[in-house]
Structure 1
Amino acid sequence: MTSNESQRFRYSEAPVWDWQRAYYEQKGLEAWTENQVPQYITSNPMIATAYAEMIFGFLQDLANKGQITETVTILELGAGVGRLAHQVLLKLIELKEFAGIELPPFRYVMTDLVAENVQGWREHPSMQSFIQQGIVDFARFDAVADTELKLVVAGTVIRPGDLKQPLLLIANYFFDSIPQELIYIGDGEIYECDLLVQSPDRRHDLEPAEMLKNMTLSYEYRRAPEYSADNYPYSELITLYKAELEDSHILFPAIGLSCLERLNKLSQSGYVLITADKGDHRLDNWKFAEPPEFVLHGSFSLTANYHAIQYVLEQQGAHTRFTTHHYKDLNVGCMLMVDEPIRYVNTRLAYHRFVERFGPDDFFSMKQWVDSRIESMELKHILPFWRLGGYDAEFLIHSATHISSLLPDASDEEMLDIQSGIHTMWSSYYVMEQQGGLAFLAGQLLYEMYMYEDAKRFLEISLVADPSNHTPAVLYDLAVCCYELELEEETLSYTHKVLALEPDHEEAGDLLRSFE
């Protein structure tokens, strides 16, 4: 039930943005761990590899210019659950160690609007080794207004002009989720589209997600000559829109551009922006555009106007890259807002190799196809795809049952590759709520391959992480592992636990009697 009264707001000032903010403040990191807000597509090992390669190329470019003493700050805007940062750091360290070349030092700063999220990252077990190495820090950052960064670990503040190296920005699902303006181009004129919001009757009793779900929106148009004024900072872009577009609704990222300008001032040397979003950089995609659709997932997201960001930055001297082919789910761009951007050869080559030729969007499309056909695939198909995706945990979770069914006919080499893949996956796993379930699946597969030492390790991890795994079946598997490893005391301990839960467990009884 909604109120019959609608209130009129400028698009960027409508209460929907307050409800969005309230949602994230209320949910904290649970917004992602409860699978409400999408996070896999922008935080899986494939996209982390692409980003790490571009960052590594950027560090190489700075080293080639002799800039190896000052620390490079990598700043992630809206770092979500923290999984991308963790994956990028692991892969960046791996690249650095493999190359063995001199590079400038770096620190990765994770930011978010919600202070509880910042504290959650600070305390997360997967972040502790990076904190000890001094390569990660955290800061609360409000994209709408903030002009400095207060680092949690270092206890210092980054103010305008403090950074000597160019800043490297990462912005995934960022520009589509912060306040934007909505303008309309028609008959060569420009209008602002005000938002009429009809709220639920009992709005004071509803959660932010319910407010968003039950709102009713409509639009009213008013002439906006201020956009065409000579002193409007983006007047050239508006002139282009008026000349090229007709009957078109344009989400205009004024706050996003302002945010980039404020961040640019932190460094004396500009910035490089790596960004991925559901966003269009081609002007044709904005022609005859309908009013934007609010995509709800607890919070909401819109389409990012990458065309506006690209145009403005290029006018200011940036070199920008988006793929020459059309994206399906995720548009990944790299924008070099630095002096002589063409000299950043390794950065540009990394984009070409890891995004343009085959990138995160391509992989995600393939993964959707593979996920729907996993039951018809053989190990010779599954293992290469798992390897291509960086031994992704979510893929193993999805395919473990089918892999188990294929093990009786698996070759020794295939089983060794599964074992190796499990170890690689676990070494880069970002601890989340499903840790116990993942460890259990890994332990079961290893047990079925008679790899008892590894199986014991993962099954014991699953017991600690998830008490629901304390079942006779799991405890008996552990008893068998210990028996095969000639660990008599542990064998007896697990066997007694099985019989305590299920006194008539025949196999456990036989195992116990074998020690008499």
Structure 2
Amino acid sequence: MAAGALPSEDFGPEAQACVLEADQPLSKSILWRAQRDYFEREGIAAWSAPAVPHYVTTNPSLVHAIAQTVLGYWRDCHASPSSGPLHILELGAGSGRFAYLFLRAMLELCARVPSRDVRFKYVMTDLAGSNLAFWRTHPSLRPFVDAGWLDFALFDVEKDDGLVLSESGTPLQPGSFDGPLAVIANYVFDSVPQDAFAVSEGQLHECLVTVLTDPQAPGVGTTGVFSQMRLHYSHRLAGFDHYPEPEFNQLLRGYASTLDGTTVLLPTVALRCVERLAALAKGRLLLISADRGFVHEKELAGREDPQLSVHGSFSLPVNYHAFCQWFRAKGGLALHTAHRQLSLHTCAFILGEPAAHAEETCFAYHLAFEGAGFDDFFRLRQGIESQYSMLEVEHILALLRLSRYDPRILRDCVPVLMMHAGSLSPMERQELADVVSRVWENYFHIGEARDLPFEFAGLLHTLGEPTAALALFQESLCLYGEDPRTFWNMALCAVALKRPDEAARFLARTWALAPDFNPGIALLSKDG
């Protein structure tokens, strides 16, 4: 078929669709400009709405596993008191939840490293300035900034080779610091430009994309446009010297010699970004990346031309097999699980020293991800979440501990815990209350509709913990504004604490806001 032909038998009703562009290399498509516009326009609302999925890469279990691996890398680097700190750069930090949990986990782990001064600087980056403004004023992040652990910077994965820290004003340019660099890129490389090649009988064909949309669809720069797009591909013969980078051409030759009848994605922009970042630290780099995609070459077989996975923005799977080959070609190390991951691949890669003797990194990664790792836990949680109502309290406590005190799991289990609270012994009540407090410490607010402090406070009140409950009801007021249900419950807490004047003030505010307030619904979820 000639490039650009759009036969109606292939598209049916879409034959009259509006052509936004025709026959462009995938990495040059207008799709990526629209993607950038989406994140710059939506800012933090992309995650709080929620439109863009992020829970799977921002939960305490995965974050702790990644922190363990980063600490293993620091131990391999044998940092001395005279060397610079380990810089940890998070690409596309988005909602900020990963950074918050990582800093908590990393500081906890560092406190357990015997007689070693683990010095590090965590840098949250994004291309959207509004996200930096949100992080800089977030009360949960400010203590880390004030202690010198955290800073922020604008960084464009597609082009930047340096950055400037917004709090300290320190520039990070190639070769500008002595310590090693760890880069964390979760749900990032699936959202930046990639190329696609069809492999057939030893030959390569570059996939050229035509982007179609309904004539009545919103414009390219508006919300919801991606769900209206359809992609059509034509194929153009490509040589094995397609790129100026010999490593990319080597990848293409390898795929042409081992695969047939499939289409492979090549993460060119992501790999170029990695090379630029390695130059910041004089070639010493750890990359940890979690995303959906493919690690083993056999997973690349039988693939059709790529289509968008739409979720507010859009994403394409990441070819981690190409990452592995690229790092090894440069004398580096690639770590991934031996078994196929169903929900999320989390891979680690090392360039420069100590790639040849990264025993601590390998050991930490093995403990965190091989065998019964995070992906298995995530799948298990998915399998039982519809059955939470059938669990006993001891089962839920075990699940919360295994999750490293995940706020989402507690949120989903609040109804069944409220149901069982009255039958618990004093020791069990205290145990559950302690777990609720630990879960709350892991909560990072991004403006979502569900009022978790209210729900957790209601559970604590039912458990006979009025002091802790009152503190969370006050958090609810701060985050979600005045509500008669919140003031009513605060009055109940004050009565339990024998503070009649305080209770009277809360009751007065309750009826000032809602003269016909019905206290029978006061301890239900605000969604109830």
TM-score by length of 2: 0.90
Matched, 1:475 2:490: no
> What do residues 243-266 of structure 1 show as CA deviations (whole Å, max 9, x unaligned)?
111011010111111111111111
CA distance 1:399–1:175, shift in 2 (3 Å): same
> 1:296-335 maps to which residues of 2 (within 5 A)?
296-335=310-349
CA distance 1:286–1:278, shift in 2 (3 Å): same
Q: Shift of residue 5 of structure 1?
A: 7.5
Matched, 1:466 2:486: no
Q: 2:272 aligns with which of 255, 258, 262?
A: 258
Runs of 4+ in 1 over 4 A off after TM superposition: 202-207, 228-231, 498-508
> What do residues 483-506 of structure 1 show as CA deviations (whole Å, max 9, x unaligned)?
221212112222334455676889
One-letter amino acid of the counterpart of residue 252, structure 1: L
* Aligned mates of 1:58, 1:459 — CA distance in 2: 41
The residue aligned with 1:495 is 507
The residue aligned with 1:288 is 302
Report percent identity of matched pairs: 30
* Aligned mates of 1:336, 1:350 — CA distance in 2: 14
* Aligned mates of 2:517, 2:51 — CA distance in 1: 41
CA distance 1:370–1:342, shift in 2 (3 Å): farther
CA distance 1:459–1:243, shift in 2 (3 Å): same
Matched, 1:355 2:369: yes
Question: Any conservation in 2 of the 1:165–1:269 contact (CA below 8 Å)?
Answer: no
One-letter amino acid of the counterpart of residue 64, structure 2: T
* Aligned mates of 1:469, 1:503 — CA distance in 2: 12
Question: Any conservation in 2 of the 1:37–1:297 contact (CA below 8 Å)?
Answer: yes
> 1:373-392 maps to which residues of 2 (within 5 A)?
373-392=387-406
Question: Any conservation in 2 of the 1:436–1:465 contact (CA below 8 Å)?
Answer: no
CA distance 1:458–1:204, shift in 2 (3 Å): closer
Q: 2:464 aligns with which of 444, 450, 469?
A: 450
One-letter amino acid of the counterpart of residue 11, structure 1: L
Matched, 1:49 2:64: yes
Question: Any conservation in 2 of the 1:272–1:334 contact (CA below 8 Å)?
Answer: yes
Q: Shift of residue 461 of structure 1?
A: 2.3
The residue aligned with 2:124 is 110
SS at match of 1:176: helix
> 1:71-150 maps to which residues of 2 (within 5 A)?
71-150=85-164
Question: Any conservation in 2 of the 1:229–1:235 contact (CA below 8 Å)?
Answer: yes
One-letter amino acid of the counterpart of residue 477, structure 1: N
CA distance 1:417–1:15, shift in 2 (3 Å): same
Q: Shift of residue 136 of structure 1?
A: 0.9
CA distance 1:498–1:156, shift in 2 (3 Å): closer
Q: Shift of residue 222 of structure 1?
A: 0.7
Question: Any conservation in 2 of the 1:278–1:330 contact (CA below 8 Å)?
Answer: yes
Question: Any conservation in 1 of the 2:217–2:228 contact (CA below 8 Å)?
Answer: no
Question: Any conservation in 2 of the 1:436–1:462 contact (CA below 8 Å)?
Answer: no
SS at match of 1:75: strand
> What do residues 289-332 of structure 1 show as CA deviations (whole Å, max 9, x unaligned)?
11112100011001101011110101111111101111011001
The residue aligned with 1:12 is 27
Question: Any conservation in 2 of the 1:228–1:239 contact (CA below 8 Å)?
Answer: no
More helix per residue: 1
> What do residues 195-215 of structure 1 show as CA deviations (whole Å, max 9, x unaligned)?
011234356746534322212
CA distance 1:219–1:437, shift in 2 (3 Å): same
Question: Gaps (5+ residues) in structure 2?
Answer: 1-15, 521-528
CA distance 1:448–1:236, shift in 2 (3 Å): same
Q: Shift of residue 475 of structure 1?
A: 3.2
CA distance 1:501–1:282, shift in 2 (3 Å): closer
SS at match of 1:210: coil
Q: Shift of residue 101 of structure 1?
A: 2.7
Q: Shift of residue 387 of structure 1?
A: 1.1
> What do residues 449-490 of structure 1 show as CA deviations (whole Å, max 9, x unaligned)?
12222222222222332236323xx43332232122121211
The residue aligned with 2:52 is 37
CA distance 1:505–1:252, shift in 2 (3 Å): closer
Say which is worse superposed, 366-375 or 65-74, in terms of deviation: 65-74
Q: Number of paired residues?
A: 505
The residue aligned with 2:436 is 422
* Aligned mates of 2:293, 2:34 — CA distance in 1: 22
TM-score by length of 1: 0.92
The residue aligned with 2:409 is 395
Q: Shift of residue 117 of structure 1?
A: 1.3
